[in-house]
Each structure stands twice: as structure tokens, then as C-alpha cells.
Amino acid sequence: MSADPRRLAQLLGHLFDRGGLLEQALTHRSAGPVNNERLEFLGDALIGFVIAEALCLRFPQADEGTLSRLRASLVKRDSLARLARGLKLGDYLRLGAGELRTGGHARDSILADALEAVFGAVYIDAGFEKARTVVLNLFANRLEQTDAAHAGKDPKTRLQEWLQSRKRPLPEYLVLSIGGDQHDQTFTVSCLLNDVDVSTRGEGTSRRRAEQAAAQAMLERIEHV
């Protein structure tokens, strides 16, 4: 872990009374027996409830199936990994030698698990209301952009529909790089809107996931195009 975790705490908006909790949340199981797995378990449940509550309040007319699909899209591994990258969470992780060699600090699963663990650590350190505030602050933009009419539609489909409704050309997806071992690859893909020369990038454990991540990034940027 090269970066100071206190900087991460500031980004989260919570300064820990028990600093060891944050360090534990950032410690992968490959680094030793005291790691973030139990905090991850707690944080996973916390995020699920907080986001479910937020969606119920935001979409009072939505049925259970729609709410479930919206929650799944917000808290799935790819989504959590993107949030983690926004915090540069990989810079703070403690990893074993094997994970360091194979680029574990950039892997979706490790980033998503660590983010869940950080939320669990906030809960233990300061209680539910503080943890709820931290989660909602981090998810604020994504919740604001969530549309019940798009429940169940992946980012590539939504981007295509947005462009077609404005009679604009479809995006172009290009594989920029493939890294990692054969059994544990990371794809980096660009999403390009040729008519305005704007592009975004996405990463994932498959080309499809990387394309979806790039499309999601484009959706988030498109209002500024």
C-alpha cells in the first residue's frame, strides 16, 4: 500500500476513530490472516439495504422487479469497481506478493470487495447513519442518473437508444489493451463517438464487460457533449 489511507478517509468524508479498521478494510486476504473478508461481508449487506431504501424513496411507483433490477445494476461488481477506481482505491490496497505481480490492485473483484469492506469499516467505526451517508454520497451521481424506465437495460443498449433517438451514428468500440494472465485477463476498451470526437475508456475481465464499462462512462459524460 503506497498511498496514505488518511487521504482516502478524507475523500470518503469520514475520519476514522479506529484507524486500524480502514487499514484492515484495505488488506486483501493474500496479505495475511487479518484481512478484509469479514468487513466485505458486512459492507455488502449494508450497500444492498442503503441502495434499496434510496430506490424505494426515489421511485415510489416502481414495482419490486424493477427495483431489484435497478439495485443490481448499481451494486454489481463492475459498478463498484468503477466507483473504487474513482477513489483510486487500488493505490491504497495491501496485497500479497502474488497479487502484486499479477496486477491485483486493478482487478474488478478485488476493488469491489475492498470498497464493500471500507463501507463495513465505516459502519463499525461510526454506526449506521454515518455509513449510510458515506454510501449515499458516493452513489449520489449514479442514483441521480438512474431511470426506472431503463431498468434491466445494459449501458451499451441505453447508449445506442440515446444516440438513435437523436439520429446520431452509433459508437465505435476498440480494444486498447489486454493484460494479465490467460486465465485472469483485464481488457481495456474505448468507446468513441466519431461525430463529436469524444471517447471514454472502460476496463473489465472480458471484452463485453469492458465495452459496457466504456459505454457507462460515455453515458455519464454525454450530457456535456
For residue 163, the Cα-to-chain-centroid distance in whole angstroms is 25
CA dist 176 to 105, 127, 187, Å? Answer: 19, 43, 8
CB 104 within 8 A of CB 30: yes
- Choose, from 44, 78, 99, 211, the residue flagged as catalytic: 44
Which one of the listed residues 99, 108, 116, 203 is annotated catalytic?
A: 116
Q: Is 40 annotated as a binding residue?
A: yes
Question: What CA–CA distance (Å, rounded) separates 153 from 188?
Answer: 22
Whether 44 is catalytic is yes
Question: Is 147 labelled a binding residue?
Answer: no
Please answer whether residues 82 and 212 qualify as being in contact, where contact means their C-beta atoms are separated by less than 8 angstroms: no
Helix (H) or strand (E) run with residue 151 in it: none
Nearest of 118, 94, 117, 116 to residue 104 by alpha carbon? 94
Mention every residue, 6+ apart, whose C-beta is less than 8 A from residue 138: 12, 83, 87
Contact in structure between 162 and 219 (CB atoms under 8 Å): yes
| 220 assigned ligand-binding residue | no
- Cross-strand bridge partners of residue 115: none
Nearest to 27 by CA among 16, 17, 39: 39
How far is C-alpha 143 from the geometric centre of its chain's CA atoms?
13
- Give the 3-state secondary structure of residue 152: coil
Name the grid cell of 158. 441505453
Question: Which positions are catalytic?
Answer: 44, 116
Bind-site residues for Mg(2+): 40, 113, 116
Bind-site residues: 40, 113, 116
